[in-house]
Structures are given as structure tokens and as C-alpha cells.
Copies of this chain bind each other. A is one copy, B any other.
């Protein structure tokens, strides 16, 4: 491997001079610069970034990105935006998929050991230990930025880290409320819910709270039988959850689904069961990923901006690394994207229809 020294020898100058040339510093004669350039070319010299950051003790030009599940296009789009900004500034991103919960802690340790310049966290669960590592990172001056649902009270992050991290928030409670509000405005009264959360924690969840508060605002009682929960947030979870709801035979005319991924599963279930969407059943969900444009029918979904999330996170970290004081908080606007999966309540009740058919 060719090193600075090799280049120096080849060019007949000292190591320091080569270093100056490589880093574009002043105080190098044109003659020397020329010869060094030639040597670099001849020897195919590439600087050793490891040695470089060791010596400077400053930047490693690496950013860590913790996402819950890259195969979910919600996260994939955030990742893309993040990577794109990082790249533009000469930073490299270390990707970590945290769906398998135990990985988070190890990855945080990795970040510390690798002297990562900044860490972005989106949708990953943090336990006590993990938060400890985050504090360690903060103490070492490594900026952290977190994307999260507003008021995510179950997560101890908020309290422990205070305002030392950057935060992008989006109000999923408000989003869910808007979605339900819309359904109510379309005449729906019996509205089911498909949530991806532990049953017992249901009313800790922002989306569930939004669901409830919209109903309550209209004097509609919450019917527990209309609620299905699953621990996963995947297409198959949506498929099974919807199946469960249909099986319960609880004549509802609309369903709120936790996210697009699950909604795709739910849609698929409806199709298999001969339930027409939206004629027999309206569906609204959250995320508004690109996928939701291409389902059949296209999903009415609450838009949570993703590109903005990724970009804010990357920009925040980069600014902090350069010693700046960028705004550390961003609240993203959620809004309902109206498409075809939800409509005015029909006169037919599909649950009755199904039960007639099957019984």
C-alpha cells in the first residue's frame, strides 16, 4: 500500500510537504506541488482516512443511521434522503436495521468505537441501556438527532436526554384524528382500528389516542370489539389483522389502519374475502408512502413527510459537527391525502353481507 512516505520518496520531498499538497495548504512551491502531484498519480496514492482521523482527532466523516426496518419504504425513503445529503457533504453512512431489537445497543457501541461524527435514530426502540449509550455519545460531543412521534410517552428517551438532541416530530395523534374525522364526515359511525402495538399499551399510543379522541368528539363510544392489535407492522400483520376483524363479524363500515404497510395487507385480505374497498369498507391509513398511490384502490392515507425527515436529520448533524447551532426542533406537518380507499358510507353493510353468505 502506498503511503505518504512513499510519495515523498518518489517525489524527493519530505512527508510534511506531501501532506500539505494533499490537503491543499499554502506555503508549497509550485515546483514541489507539481512533483508531488506526479508522484501521487504515478503511485495511485489514496490517503488513509483512518490514520487521518486518528491524527487530527476530529472528523471521521461517518454518520450512523439507525432505522427500524429498511424494507419498509417509509424508512427506505428517509434513508435515501439522509444518505443523499450526507454524500453531498462527503460523509459516509453506516446503516443499521434495528428491527431485531438487541442490535441497537451493539450498534451504538460501534458508533462510539468508530468515533462516528453523528447519529440519527428513526423508529428504533430505546431501553435504559441504549439511552445510557446515547448520553455517552452526547458527552463525547457527538450530535444525535431523533425522529419520533410527538409525545411518544412510552419511550424514556425524551426525559433522559432533555433537549440535548435534535428532534423531528410529527403528530400522529393529530393525523389519526384527522383521518377519523374525515371518515365521520363521510357518514361513518362504526369505525374499526388495526393497530400495531401491544394490546395493553393501546391507549398510550398516539395514533390510538387520535382515533379515540375523534370518536369522542362526536359522541361515538369506542367499541373494543372493533379494535385489533398486532405486535408487528408488516403486510402480513395487516392481512391477519383484517382477517381477524372480518371474522369478528362486527359490522363496521370503515377501518383505520396503523400504517400503509399494514393497509396493503388489509387491502389484500379484503380482496381475498370479496370485500370491496371502498364500497363495502373504507380504509384509511398512515404514512402515505409512494406505495399508497399504487395500491388498488389507492390508499387514503395521512402524509408524514419522509424526505424532510431524512434531510433535517442529516443537515442538523452536519451543522452541529461544524460547530453550528442549527434549529434543533422541527415539527412536521401531517395531512390527509385523499384517494380512493375511503368514501361515503354505503347503504350496504358488508359484514352482514358476508355473514349471510357464509351462514
Footprint of B on A, CB under 8 Å?
1, 44, 46-51, 53-54, 60, 62, 65, 70-71, 73, 76-77, 79-80, 83-84, 87, 92-97, 100, 103, 106-107, 109-110, 112-115, 136, 140, 235, 239, 264-265, 267-268, 271, 290-291, 293-298
User: Which residue on B lies nearest to A100, using beta carbons?
Assistant: B84
> How many copies of this chain are found per oligomer?
2
Selected contact of A92 from candidates B50, B94, B239, B296, CB within 8 Å:
B94
A293 touching B80 by the CB < 8 A rule? Answer: no
**Prevailing SS type, chain A contact patch:** helix
B50 touching A114 by the CB < 8 A rule? Answer: yes
B53 touching A50 by the CB < 8 A rule? Answer: yes
A50 touching B60 by the CB < 8 A rule? Answer: yes
B293 touching A295 by the CB < 8 A rule? Answer: no
A1 to B76, CA, bound (A): 34
A115 touching B50 by the CB < 8 A rule? Answer: yes
**A235 and B80 in contact (CB under 8 A), knowing A50-B60, A92-B114, A140-B1?**
no
A113 touching B46 by the CB < 8 A rule? Answer: yes
Interface centre among A51, A76, A271, by most chain B C-beta atoms within 10 angstroms, is A76
**A46 and B294 in contact (CB under 8 A), knowing A73-B73, A93-B95?**
no
A48 touching B113 by the CB < 8 A rule? Answer: yes
User: Which residue on B lies nearest to A44, using beta carbons?
Assistant: B136
A71 to B265, CA, bound (A): 19
A345 to B114, CA, bound (A): 59
**A95 and B112 in contact (CB under 8 A), knowing A73-B71, A268-B298?**
no
17 residue pairs bridging A and B, Cβ less than 8 Å apart:
A1-B140, A47-B113, A49-B113, A70-B79, A70-B83, A71-B76, A83-B97, A92-B94, A93-B94, A94-B94, A235-B293, A267-B294, A267-B296, A268-B293, A268-B298, A291-B291, A295-B296
User: Which residue on B lies nearest to A267, using beta carbons?
Assistant: B296
User: Which residue on B lies nearest to A266, using beta carbons?
Assistant: B294
A296 touching B293 by the CB < 8 A rule? Answer: no
A70 to B298, CA, bound (A): 23
Selected contact of A103 from candidates B87, B96, B298, CB within 8 Å:
B87
Name the B residues within 8 Å of A62 (CB-CB): 94
Name the B residues within 8 Å of A100 (CB-CB): 84
Interface centre among A71, A110, A113, A115, by most chain B C-beta atoms within 10 angstroms, is A71
Selected contact of A115 from candidates B48, B96, B268, B290, CB within 8 Å:
B48
A94 to B61, CA, bound (A): 12
A114 to B62, CA, bound (A): 10
Selected contact of A70 from candidates B48, B76, B235, CB within 8 Å:
B76
A84 to B106, CA, bound (A): 13
